[in-house]
């Protein structure tokens, strides 16, 4: 039986005392009832202009300067002022404490909703998901960003803004190819890495002596390098290497120390965002399900009015709305809708399963612990495995999902999977594949370079399903790569199944500074 509590607020206006009161009420439900384990939260109220500024710099609260951020700000501000686009109700940062920025234009009901969504839903996911635990350092990210901002500013003063901008342009072009896709032994601690980098730089400056460069090499060493075979050379260089920024940072012959450090900064930021690219459906589904549960509990216990609850339902419905394929607003499957629908279906399966549910989910059907099932899924899965494991027939029927075979060489589309048992499994497999980054991001690796010879950098793109790179964009990125490497770069496109070369980008030479 639900105990009735006093109203948290009665109107649309808010003040900081009401926000604190609502936050405490949300926390009691999230922690005591749901058993969530979020980071401590730090809620800050910002204006629309500050929100646009955060948009422009990848959603981070502090960042180094780059012309592209100003360009994005000007574009987003124009669209917002003309009413052509809206703004997010909040931005949440994966840090400890978890920073939650809420808009000053929000009503009190919206402030309550977004705190439940971000400060508890997203925060719990950030802290407990295995990918985030492996790849991100919530304790050190803000300190590292502060270091990055000051370091880039110092480089601009010392080496000139144009030189720094040139390195950042190239690093940003390669940003999506600047991640390690498989965890190393130790989780990354950004504070320790930052201090270790400073210590290395200080040691190199103190021990540098240019006379060592003038000493001749012993004949046997030169002969050994000259006769080293390709496999041994690749092994010595750690090839193949999929993290292009890492390879350039460690191996590019002509980069200065400060340029390597800037590559490292961009690489660390790219790595920080890598788990978010793999968990969009799960992360938003988690946060949406948490705010839906909490807001319903606040209403059941009499802490929000009927009018406030109707406002919440209206906003929540907008968030999880999925346009039809022929709707002008359709732009793909809404991750909020898909994640929320799967989690709500899991709740039903745990509490009131049907015979169909028992066939599809024998391990969890009727277990009575939907919160435990949710938290297990949030911790152990990413989008493609989450969908492959938990997308059930009811969700596919409700969302009217089916699979279509689209062959560019055929004049018609073919419906391959409908709502029968085999069709459900094919739909689930096909939808899961759409969230597999390995299928949608090009697999480009450094495969060879002869540092004792012409120093040409050889890359290989392993093409999946015959999908090749767009030539114009590829050449632009290769130009940035050649500028950082300092020598010619060549790219081969290879069929991943047959290992045959199907395309070649001839040598791209570095541009003259």
- Which phi and psi angles does 475 have, rounded to 5°? -65, -35
> Does residue 326 come out as left (phi exceeding 0), alpha (psi in the -120 to 50 range) or beta?
alpha
C-alpha 164/C-alpha 36 separation (Å) is 44
If you ran DSSP here, which 8-state letter would residue 175 be given?
A: G
The CA–CA distances, whole Å, from 134 to 60, 138, 304 equal 20, 11, 39
Taken as a whole, the chain contains a residue count of 513
Cβ atoms within 10 Å, residue 162: 9
Distances (CA, A) of 226 to 223, 437, 453: 5, 40, 8
Q: How far is residue 320's CA from residue 87's CA, in Å, rounded to a whole number?
A: 16
- Residue 97, Cα to own-chain centre: how many angstroms? 19
- Cis-peptide, bond into residue 234, ω within 30° of zero: no
Q: What is the pLDDT of residues 194-207, one digit of tens each?
A: 666 666 666 666 66
Determine phi and psi for 111, rounding to 5 degrees.
-65, -40
**Which string of DSSP letters, residue by residue, matches 270-339?**
HHHHHHHHH-HHHHHHHHHHHHHHHHHHHHHTTSS-HHHHHHHHHHHHHHT----TTSTT--S--HHHHH
Higher per-residue pLDDT: 314 or 326: 314
Structure tokens at 228: 């080293």
Q: Determine whether 236 is exposed, middle or buried from the number of CB atoms within 10 Å of its CB (0-12, 13-18, 19+).
A: exposed
Chain mean pLDDT for the chain: 87
By C-alpha distance, which of 336, 340, 303 is closest to 108? 303
For residue 187, give Cα distances in angstroms to 130, 245, 348, 381, 439.
Answer: 11, 19, 37, 18, 26
Cα dihedral value 169, 173, 175, 177, nearest 10: -140
How do beta strands 501-508 and 403-405 pair? unpaired
Q: Give the model confidence (pLDDT) of 213-225 as tens digits.
A: 555 555 555 445 4
Q: What is the dihedral of CA 498, 499, 502, 504, to 10 degrees?
A: 170
Which carries the bigger pLDDT value, residue 281 or residue 452? 281
**pLDDT: which is higher, 185 or 369:** 369
- Residue 315 — very low, low, confident or very high, per pLDDT cuts 50/70/90? very high
pLDDT at residue 61 greater than cutoff 90? no
Strand partners, 458: 448, 490
Q: How much is the pTM?
A: 0.86
Integer Cα distance of 93 and 61 in angstroms: 8
The proportion of the chain whose per-residue pLDDT surpasses 90, expressed as a percent, equals: 60
Q: What is the DSSP string of 261-277?
A: HHHHHHHHHHHHHHHHH
Q: Model confidence over 476-512: pLDDT tens digits?
A: 999 999 999 999 999 999 998 898 999 999 888 998 7
Partners of residue 241 on adjacent β-strands: 446
Q: Residue 206 has which token pair? A: 């103190």
Q: How far apart are CA 434 and CA 338, in angstroms?
A: 13
For 16, 159, 213, the CA distances from 207, given in Å and listed in that order, are 55, 23, 13
* 3-state class (DSSP) for residue 383: helix
Listed by start position, the domains of the chain span 16-129+279-314, 140-200+231-277, 321-438, 442-508
**pLDDT (0 to 100) of residue 416:** 73
Distance CA 419, CA 427 (A): 9
Q: How confident is the model at residue 362 (pLDDT cuts 50, 70, 90)?
A: very high
Q: Is the per-residue pLDDT at 86 higher than 70?
A: no
Q: What is the pLDDT of residues 107-128, one digit of tens each?
A: 999 999 999 999 999 999 999 9
**pLDDT tens digits along 11-46:** 899 999 999 999 999 999 999 999 999 999 999 998
pLDDT value at position 84? 66
User: What confidence category does residue 87 fall into, taking pLDDT thresholds of 50, 70 and 90?
Assistant: low
Using an 8 Å Cβ cutoff, are 134 and 187 in contact? Answer: yes
**Cβ count near 193 (within 10 Å):** 16
pLDDT above 70 as % of the chain? 88
Cα Rg of the chain, angstroms: 26
The answer to whether 484 and 460 are in contact (CB under 8 A) is no
Cα–Cα distance for residue pair 262/244, rounded to 1 Å? 14
Task: Tell me the pLDDT band of 49, cut-offs 50, 70 and 90.
Answer: confident
């Amino acid at each position: 039986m639900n105990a009735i509590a006093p109203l948290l607020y009665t109107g649309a206006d808010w003040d900081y005392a009401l926000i604190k009161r609502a936050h405490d009420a949300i926390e009691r439900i999230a922690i005591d009832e749901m058993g969530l384990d979020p980071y401590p939260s730090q809620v800050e109220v910002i204006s629309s202009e500050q929100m646009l500024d955060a948009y422009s710099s990848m959603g981070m609260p502090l960042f180094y300067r780059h012309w592209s951020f100003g360009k994005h700000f000007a574009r987003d501000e124009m669209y917002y002022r003309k009413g052509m686009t809206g703004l997010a109700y909040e931005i949440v940062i994966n840090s400890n404490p978890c920073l939650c920025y809420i808009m000053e234009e929000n009503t009190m009901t919206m402030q309550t909703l977004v705190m439940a969504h971000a400060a508890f839903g997203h925060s719990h996911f950030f802290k407990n998901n295995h990918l985030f635990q492996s790849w991100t350092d919530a304790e050190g990210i803000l300190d590292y960003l502060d270091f990055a901002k000051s370091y880039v500013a110092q480089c601009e003063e010392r080496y000139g803004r144009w030189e720094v901008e040139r390195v950042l342009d190239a690093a940003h072009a390669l940003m999506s190819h600047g991640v390690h896709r498989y965890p190393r032994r130790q989780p990354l601690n950004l504070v320790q890495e930052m201090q270790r980098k400073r210590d290395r730089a200080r040691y190199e400056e103190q021990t540098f002596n240019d006379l060592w460069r003038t000493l001749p090499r012993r004949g046997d060493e030169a002969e050994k390098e000259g006769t080293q075979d390709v496999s041994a050379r690749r092994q010595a260089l750690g090839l193949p290497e999929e993290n292009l920024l890492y390879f350039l940072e460690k191996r590019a012959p002509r980069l200065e120390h400060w340029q390597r450090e800037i590559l490292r900064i961009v690489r660390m930021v790219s790595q920080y965002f890598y788990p978010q690219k793999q968990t969009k459906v799960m992360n938003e589904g988690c946060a949406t399900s948490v705010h839906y549960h909490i807001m319903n509990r606040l209403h059941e216990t009499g802490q929000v009015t009927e009018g406030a609850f109707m406002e919440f339902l209206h906003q929540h419905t907008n968030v999880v709305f999925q346009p039809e394929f022929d709707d002008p607003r359709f732009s793909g499957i809404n991750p909020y809708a898909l994640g929320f629908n799967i989690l709500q279906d899991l709740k039903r399966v745990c509490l009131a399963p049907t015979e169909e549910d028992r066939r599809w989910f024998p391990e969890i059907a009727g277990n009575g612990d939907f919160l435990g099932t949710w938290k297990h899924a949030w911790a152990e899965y990413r989008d493609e495995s989450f969908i492959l494991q938990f997308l059930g027939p009811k969700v596919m029927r409700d969302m009217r999902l089916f699979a279509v075979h689209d062959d560019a060489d055929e004049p018609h589309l073919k419906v391959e999977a409908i709502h029968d048992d085999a069709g459900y499994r094919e739909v689930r497999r096909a939808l899961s594949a759409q969230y597999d980054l390995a299928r949608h991001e090009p697999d480009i690796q450094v495969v060879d370079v002869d540092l004792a010879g012409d120093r040409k950098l050889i890359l290989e793109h392993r093409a999946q399903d015959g999908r090749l790179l767009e030539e114009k964009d590829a050449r632009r990125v290769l130009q940035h790569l050649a500028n950082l490497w300092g020598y010619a770069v060549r790219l081969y496109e290879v069929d991943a199944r047959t290992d045959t070369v199907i395309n070649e980008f001839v040598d791209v030479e570095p541009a003259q500074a």
